[in-house]
Amino acid sequence: NAGVTQTPKFRVLKTGQSMTLLCAQDMNHEYMYWYRQDPGMGLRLIHYSVGEGTTAKGEVPDGYNVSRLKKQNFLLGLESAAPSQTSVYFCASKRQTGTNTGELFFGEGSRLTVL
């Protein structure tokens, strides 16, 4: 069972470079999320999607863009990376209806360092 898969797991960027994090889920979940984790701040929501073709801003969306062209994939883009975007990024998904709809399923995280 793959669940939620994030690629890449690690990446080092220079300031101003761009990159895309890919999240894929095989559970047919409607909702998908991108969080960032920083020491002492828990996980903060960057963007999320409630269905294919839809996206919405979370708590800390500035400097990021997302796309959900296919239900199973949720992409997070950094157009011009900044050192403040050094973090661990988590993708998550959840079902919309049925039992236990509150539970999020997480990927293993992607560590991004911006020099």
Partner 1 sequence: AQTVTQSQPEMSVQEAETVTLSCTYDTSENNYYLFWYKQPPSRQMILVIRQEAYKQQNATENRFSVNFQKAAKSFSLKISDSQLGDTAMYFCAFMRTSGSRLTFGEGTQLTVNP
Q: Which stretches of the chain bind partner 1, using CB under 8 A?
A: 31, 33, 35, 40-45, 48, 50, 58, 88, 90, 92, 100, 102-104, 106, 108-109
Q: Which is nearer to partner 1, 36 or 78 (CB)?
A: 36
Structure tokens at 111: 């560590």
Question: What is the DSSP annotation of 65-109?
Answer: EEE-SSTTEEEEEESS--GGG-EEEEEEEE-SSSTTTT--EE---
In the complex with partner 1, which residue's Cβ is closer, 19 or 106? 106
Are 92 and 49 in contact by the 8 Å Cβ rule? The answer is no
- Rounded-to-integer distance, Cα 26 and Cα 45, Å: 22
Give min distance, CB of 80 to partner 1, in A. Answer: 27
Q: Compute the least distance from the CB of residue 85 to partner 1, in Å.
A: 18
Closer residue to partner 1 (CB): 44 or 70: 44
